[in-house]
Each structure stands twice: as structure tokens, then as C-alpha cells.
Amino acid sequence: MTTFSPEIQAALAQQAIELPSWAFGNSGTRFKVFATPGTPRDPYEKIADAAQVHRYTALAPTVALHIPWDRVDDYDDLRRHADDHGVALGTINSNTFQDDDYKFGALTHEDAAVRRKAIDHHFECIDIMDATGSRDLKIWLAEGSNYPGQADLRGRQDRLHDSLATIYERLGDDQRLVLEYKFFEPAFYHTDVPDWGTSYAQVAALGDRAVVCLDTGHHAPGTNIEFIVMQLLRLGKLGSFDFNSRFYADDDLIVGAADPFQLFRIIFEVIRGGGLNSPDVAFMLDQCHNIEDKIPGQIRSVLNVQEMTARALLVDRSALEAAQKAGDVLEANRIFMDAFYTDVRPALAEWRVSRGLPADPMRAFAESGYLAQIAADRVGGVQAGWGA
């Protein structure tokens, strides 16, 4: 059986993956939302469910909030609630995609009054960050156009810069602005922050505390995502990941489910670039569980990230470097693939037990009876936030 060196064990022990509060609510497609019994009715219950993931895996100490989906009266109280459950509040995500005023844009809108409203929403998010102790303000913009000629592409970039600069100025010294890109949807012709280059250009113009979020589901098919990871780390601008997996578009499926090898390659570049367990690079999930149970879906997700991290840590980097330098193509590839093909599951199970965790967190959670309990206790769940 594979054994982990003390260095690998130390790296695994440090790993932290932030959970999205919205993964615990009901979600679906535009065709149908299938409700799950016991779905959280408010942010408090989402946090309680997220804490279950951490309890069985020790991998998920923080929970990201989405505003206004997770708006509450008292954020100090929400913070204490998280603390009581053994987790902390993490990234605050803004939301400018569910308001009629933003039909033609928010931070890029032609009308200064609409831009002001969108900027004020981000100010509210920063106030919330101050109360929750969150470091990161994550901005994903649904803005763009559907038809050629519809919008002044250049003017929108300029307005985007001005709006982001106003928001950036309001951040505290220890806070960051994280700009997420996505190549299409909901806009179908152009999107104002479609790719890492645009996100990079915009955040580079703001300053050191503005960085890029890479959502793994937000690229065209065939994109070499690990190359982007390498480049952003090289430039010191990779702020965070939104992990999920996709077969077709922005599927938001369980990370590592569609293409575990891609996840391995991404994490290898994170390690190579010094980003693993670095405070500068936040690992987060951004997923929805439309047909599977949500808490086990999140447990499976963090375990998938852990598993591919363990495999990527097993790459013999000095042997790899020697093969690369010697131009030994096949040997370099063999070294890389050997690590990928190593089944680390038994070693991880043993290592978990040595740390007082269940060998099989999925099974331990299933046997806990928590799902039956919340189904009995909670009636009338909210929809993931997609409307609530």
C-alpha cells in the first residue's frame, strides 16, 4: 500500500476547502427543481449542514455566503452560530444577476444610477465582510449582450474599471476583491468578463489586493485550465478556485466527477506554483446538487479534491524535472502518470483514522441518521438561493 511521507501528511493536514452555502439548498435547471426533504430554510440551517461536512472530513472549515440569498438581520449572530458549529464564515459573494434593473448590465450599465445601485450592493457586501470577518469579496458578473451591435464593448470595459475601482477603494487593508470570469451565460454573444485575461487586466489595474477567481466550469471545452492556473500563479494573481465539474457548459457537477485527471493536472500546477495551502489561493467549491443528496454530495466533493491532491503530491518532482531537462518525453510522462494512477484511497483511509476521523466519511455520515433527522425537523425548504 502507498504510504505518505511526513511532508505529504503535513500538506494534507493543512488542506482547507470552502463550501458554498447555496450547495445545501434546492437547485435545478430551468426545467425542474427537485426538492430534497430537510432542505435548509435559512442561512443558519445551511451552515449547520455545511458543518456536517467538516465534522466527517476535517476538510471544510469555512462556508461562503451569497448576498442577498444569505441576508440576515444580525451577521454577528450568524458568525457566532457558525462558530458554535465548528466552522467560520468565508467569502462573501455579491449578486447582481437577479434584479430587473440589471437587465442590460450592473457595473457596466450605461445609466450611472444603475451602476450606483450595483456599487452600493457591493458596499453592503463589504459591510457584511466586516461583521463576519470575511477576507474576500467575490464578484461574478452576469453582464454582456446577446446580439452583435447591441452594446459598446469598449465603453462597458471602461465603466467596469471605474465601478470596480470604486468598490476596491472601499475595501479594508486585509480584504481582497476577487473577480471571477465566465465565457458565456446568461449573455450569449459577449460577456464583460469572459476569460482570465480580461479578469487579469481588470484586477491588475486595481492593485495588489485584487485577484482572479478561476471557476473550473467556466471555460470552453478543450481549454487547458492547468495552463491558466500556472500563468496566474506565475503572475501572483490566482486568488481562488471555484471547483466543480462539467461535461457540457456550466454544469456545476461534483468536482472530479467528470474528469479526475483534469483535477489532478490542475492541482499539480497549484503545487508546482506554490499555491497549495497558501493563504493567497482559496480552494472553494461552487456546485449545485440537483438530484443527489446535498451533504453527501459535498462530502464526496471535498474527498475528491483531497484524493487528487494526495496523488499530485506523489509526483516525484525531482525525477520529473530530470526527465524534462533530459528531453525524455516518455519518462517524464510516465512519472506524471504513475502518480495519477496510484490508488491513494486505502492510505487516506488509514491516515484519517490516525487523526481520529472516520476511515469512510461517506459511510459515517450515512450512518449518523442526520438526513432523516433534518427531514423530520424541517418542513418547507428554500430553493438554493436561486430566488430565495
Using CB under 5 A as the criterion, which residues of the chain lie in contact with Mn ion when the complex forms? Answer: 215, 242, 250, 286
26 DSSP 8-state letter? B
- Nearest to ligand LRH of 135, 311 (CB atom): 135
Shortest approach of ligand LRH to residue 298 CB, angstroms? 15
Q: Which is nearer to ligand LRH, 140 or 351 (CB)?
A: 140
Three-state secondary-structure class, residue 13: helix
With contact defined as beta carbons under 8 Å apart, do 160 and 202 qualify?
A: yes
Of the candidates 257, 244, 215, 286, the one whose C-alpha atom is nearest the C-alpha of residue 23 is 286
What is the rounded CA–CA span in Å between residue 146 and residue 150? 7
Q: Classify residue 282 as left (phi > 0), alpha (psi -120 to 50) or beta.
A: beta
Question: Of 192 and 215, which CB lies nearer to ligand LRH in the complex structure?
Answer: 215
Choose from Mn ion, ligand LRH, none: what does 93 bind? Cβ within 5-8 Å by kind: ligand LRH
Of 363, 365, 372, 352, which Cα lies nearest the Cα of 13? 352
Q: Which is nearer to ligand LRH, 242 or 307 (CB)?
A: 242
Q: Does 18 bind ligand LRH (CB under 6 A)?
A: no
Least separation in angstroms between CB 17 and ligand LRH: 15
Our finding on whether 140 is near ligand LRH (CB under 6 A) is: yes
Each residue 270-309 as x (binds ligand LRH by CB under 6 A) or -, in order, gives: ----------------x-----------------------
Between 39 and 93, whose beta carbon lies closer to ligand LRH? 93
- Per CB under 6 A, does 180 bind ligand LRH? yes
CA distance 256 to 137: 26
Q: What is the distance between the alpha carbons of residues 196 and 178, in angstroms, rounded to a whole number?
A: 12
76-to-73, 83, 88, 134 alpha-carbon distances in Å: 9, 10, 12, 12
Total of residues contacting ligand LRH (CB under 6 A): 8
Among 215, 226, 269, 307, binds ligand LRH (CB under 6 A): 215
In the complex, the smallest distance separating the C-beta of residue 71 from ligand LRH, rounded to whole angstroms, is: 15
Task: Report the chain's terminal Cα–Cα distance, integer Å.
Answer: 48
Residue 49 interacts with which of ligand LRH, Mn ion, none, CB < 5 to 8 Å by class: none
Q: How far is the CB of 23 from ligand LRH (least distance, A)?
A: 10
Could you tell me which residues come within 8 angstroms of residue 373 by beta carbon, excluding any fewer than 6 positions away? 38
**Smaller CB separation from ligand LRH, 178 or 320:** 178
Cβ-closest position to ligand LRH: 140
The Cα-based distances of 220 to 70, 193, 227, 268 in angstroms read: 30, 14, 14, 21
Which does residue 143 touch among Mn ion, ligand LRH, none (CB within 5 to 8 A, set by kind)? none
- Shortest Cβ 163–ligand LRH spacing (Å): 17
Classify residue 248 by burial, with Cβ atoms within 10 Å: 0-12, 13-18, 19+.
exposed
Q: Which of 55, 56, 22, 14 is nearest to 290 (CA)?
A: 22
Q: Build a one-symbol-per-residue string for 227-266: x at contacts with ligand LRH by CB under 6 A, - elsewhere.
A: ---------------x-------x----------------
Residues in touch with ligand LRH (CB under 6 A): 93, 140, 180, 182, 215, 242, 250, 286
